[in-house]
């Protein structure tokens, strides 16, 4: 017997994806040419499988902020926020995030994963209840495991199912935290947020909205789906990440409740983790200013979104969502066809994401395209042309 025996099914699944050629999982990107192009397998390709939604990773102003901070403050803080890791810039970013929402409080975490882990596990304690959408991200489920609340899972994007589960709680619903996402990254689908808000309000529960993939994309100032639907005043907590539209790494939790500040004293992933490096914080502050100012990046992104969704629909592909967004998930009948599509796109100079069970909801085999404002009209034409050739060959 071995500690590694339990990984045998995973090794077999990896082998099924092919042992030769460019690996479709954890694909090595050998070089970055621009926010929209890189080198894979020695070939220049369009990067259509990143979450660089606004293309800010190589924005000169963002890089300049990071460089200046790196040269002045060094590579890291070497401590947690509760010790020596709270620099002035960390607090400034928190104030700027809170101000963007018009709320009194925001907390910055070292990763987006830890933002969910630290917020969910701390907000819902042993006498409380967590109600999670069944398609929730791993960080949300892990936050539930880390905490001591009773966890109840409701059907994906089903407010009626959530309503029935809250009804069973009766007056205990006032100690229930509902967690939904603004955009589900596997299928690219969105929640019926207004319906969830109505259920939450009727039962006196609390609502946490994970805007990791919707922040920067939706809303007049890019604050996400809640802003786009005029529901910011109805959300109790927003969790977001810096690693998508903001082009860095880190995460945050913001709230209209000033009591969020107390969570700093109890959130283990916040207390016991080294704080983000000063360069990351500086870059994020500059990127956040660009997002909130609305520099036209969102319009460029949405032009690309509409163009791709229209093309994929005309080709007859089955998509994971009927509402366009920055993620276009193409549902394919089996692992073999999904892998063939992934390799076919790469041969045509387009890198996408291959998503297969057990990592996908409902055992689906997916090819996922993530769009960016950095994709030019020529990039979009090449992506669409590649799909057209694959469809003809099918």
Give which of 200, 189, 121 is closest to 162, Cα–Cα.
200
Q: Bridge partners of 106?
A: 254
Indicate which residue of 90, 137, 203, 213 is catalytic. Answer: 213
DSSP string for 231-278: -GGG-SEEEEESSSTT-SS-EEEEES-GGGGGGGGT-HHHHTSBPPPH
Q: Angle 297-315/377-393 helices, nearest 10 degrees? A: 20
Indicate which residue of 90, 244, 307, 379 is catalytic. Answer: 244
Bridging pattern class, strands 251-255 and 105-109: antiparallel
Question: Could you tell me if 360 and 186 are in contact, meaning their C-beta atoms sit under 8 angstroms apart?
Answer: yes
CB atoms within 10 A of CB 194: 12
List of long-range contacts for 1-10, beta carbons under 8 Å, 24+ apart: none
Structure tokens at 186: 């596997």
Q: Is 244 known to be catalytic?
A: yes
* Residue 29 Ramachandran class (φ > 0 left, ψ -120 to 50 alpha, else beta): beta
Instruction: Report how far residue 332's alpha carbon sits from residue 135's, in angstroms, rounded to the nearest whole number.
Output: 19
Indicate which residue of 185, 214, 370, 372 is catalytic. Answer: 185
Q: Angle 138-146/112-123 helices, nearest 10 degrees? A: 40
DSSP string for 187-247: T-----HHHHHHHHHHHT-EEEEE-TTTTTTSSTTS--HHHHTT-GGG-SEEEEESSSTT-
DSSP string for 41-61: TTEEEEE-BS--TT-GGG-HH
Give me Rg for the CA atoms of the chain. Answer: 21
Query: Strands of 327-332's sheet, edge to edge?
Result: 318-319, 327-332, 365-370, 353-355
Q: Is 6 known to be catalytic?
A: no
Structure tokens at 163: 């309503």
Q: Vertex 335, ends 330 and 339: CA angle to 5°?
A: 70
Q: Give the 3-state secondary structure percentages of the chain, helix then strand then coil, rounded to 5.
A: 45, 20, 35
Q: Is 214 known to be catalytic?
A: no
Instruction: Report how far residue 153's alpha carbon sits from residue 135's, in angstroms, rounded to the nearest whole number.
Output: 9
Give catalytic residue positions.
185, 213, 244
């Amino acid at each position: 017997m071995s500690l590694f025996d339990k990984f045998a099914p995973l090794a077999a699944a990896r082998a099924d994806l092919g042992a030769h050629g460019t690996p479709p999982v954890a694909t090595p990107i050998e070089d970055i040419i621009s926010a929209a192009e890189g080198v894979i397998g020695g070939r220049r390709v369009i990067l259509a499988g990143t979450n660089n939604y606004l293309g800010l990773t190589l924005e000169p102003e963002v890089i300049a902020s990071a460089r200046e901070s790196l040269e002045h403050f060094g590579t890291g803080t070497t401590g947690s926020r509760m010790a020596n890791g709270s620099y002035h810039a960390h607090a400034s970013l928190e104030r700027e995030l809170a101000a963007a929402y018009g709320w009194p409080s925001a907390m910055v975490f070292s990763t987006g994963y830890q933002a969910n882990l630290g917020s969910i596990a701390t907000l819902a304690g042993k006498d409380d209840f967590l109600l999670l959408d069944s398609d929730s991200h791993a960080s949300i489920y892990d936050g539930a495991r880390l905490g001591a609340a009773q966890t109840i899972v409701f059907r994906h994007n089903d407010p009626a199912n959530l309503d029935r589960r809250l009804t069973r709680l009766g007056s205990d619903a006032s100690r229930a935290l509902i967690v939904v996402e603004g955009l589900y990254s596997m299928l690219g689908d969105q929640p019926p947020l207004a319906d969830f808000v109505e259920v939450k309000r009727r039962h006196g529960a609390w609502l946490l909205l994970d805007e990791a993939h919707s922040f920067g994309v939706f809303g007049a100032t890019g604050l996400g789906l809640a802003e786009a639907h005029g529901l910011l005043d109805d959300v109790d907590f927003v969790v977001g990440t810096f690693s998508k539209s903001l082009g860095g790494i880190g995460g945050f939790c913001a709230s209209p409740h000033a009591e969020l500040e107390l969570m700093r004293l109890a959130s283990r992933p916040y207390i016991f983790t080294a704080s983000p490096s000063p360069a990351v914080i500086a870059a994020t502050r500059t990127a956040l200013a660009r997002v909130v100012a609305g520099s036209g990046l969102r319009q460029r992104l949405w032009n690309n979104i509409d163009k791709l969704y229209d093309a994929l629909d005309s080709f007859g592909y089955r998509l994971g969502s009927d509402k366009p967004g920055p993620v276009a998930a193409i549902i394919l009948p089996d692992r073999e066809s999904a892998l063939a599509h992934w390799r076919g796109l790469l041969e045509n100079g387009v890198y996408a994401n291959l998503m297969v069970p057990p990592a996908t909801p409902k055992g689906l085999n997916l090819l996922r395209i993530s769009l960016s404002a950095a994709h030019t009209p020529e990039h979009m034409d090449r992506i669409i042309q590649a799909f057209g050739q694959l469809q003809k060959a099918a």
